[in-house]
Every structure is written in structure tokens, then in C-alpha cells.
Amino acid sequence: MNDRIEQDWTAVCELDDIVPDTGVCALVKGTQVAVFHVPDEDATVYAIDNYDPHSQAAVLSRGIVGNLGERIVVASPIYKQHFDLRTGECLETPELSVSAYRVKVAGGKVWVAA
């Protein structure tokens, strides 16, 4: 059973490869995933789809990271919609939300579950 759990996780990069408060794009099982390093109280890394459904471009990893109230978000670099990094919800247009992925840091590496 533990082997199956480990197979669901993909190592994408070293945590030190991601500048704090920015994101990178990684390919996880054929899907582009935007991985963000956001040092805060709850977690240090988040992962959502890299594909922005508004602009129909794979650009979310290049967005601006910040917060709106209690929510940690990335603003799409094209039309500036905000996506919650914990849930993938688009704050302006919830029906165009993206998937959020489980993510962990182990041994200095960032791992994404898909």
C-alpha cells in the first residue's frame, strides 16, 4: 500500500529552486501544474493547474502572488483574475476555477500528487 502512495507523488524540483512568493511550471503526469513557494503560517508550497481558463493560456505560474483578505492567491498575468492557491477557485468567476493539487516538501524537494 505504501508503494502505491509513493507512486502518486511526483518530485518536481528543489524547494530552493523556487524564489519565495513566485511560481514555476512543472509537468506532472502529462499536466502542466503551477507550483508556488509562499512562506506563510499554514504551508510553504501550493500547486494548481497552470492553464488559465480565461485567457486559454498556460500562464498561471507566471502570475503575481499575494493575498485578498485571508486568501492566498495568484493573479493571472493576462486578465488578472485571482485564483485561490489552496482551492483553485477563481474569485471573480467561480465557474472557471482550476484544480488544486496536494503538495509536500520532503528532503528539500517539492512533491506534487496527481
Mean pLDDT for 92-113 is 97
Dist CA 61 CA 63 (whole Å): 6
Residue 8 reports pLDDT greater than 80: yes
In whole numbers, what is the pLDDT of the chain averaged over residues?
93
Structural domain harbouring 59: 2-113
Dist CA 36 CA 74 (whole Å): 9
Residue type at 56 in one-letter notation: Q
Q: Which residue has the higher pLDDT, 41 or 70?
A: 70
Put simply, whether the predicted model's pTM sits higher than 0.85 gets the answer: yes
Residue 53 reports pLDDT greater than 60: yes
Total domain count, the chain: 1
Count Cβ atoms below 10 Å from residue 40 Cβ, excluding itself: 11
Residue 3 reports pLDDT greater than 60: no
CATH at 90: 2.102.10.10
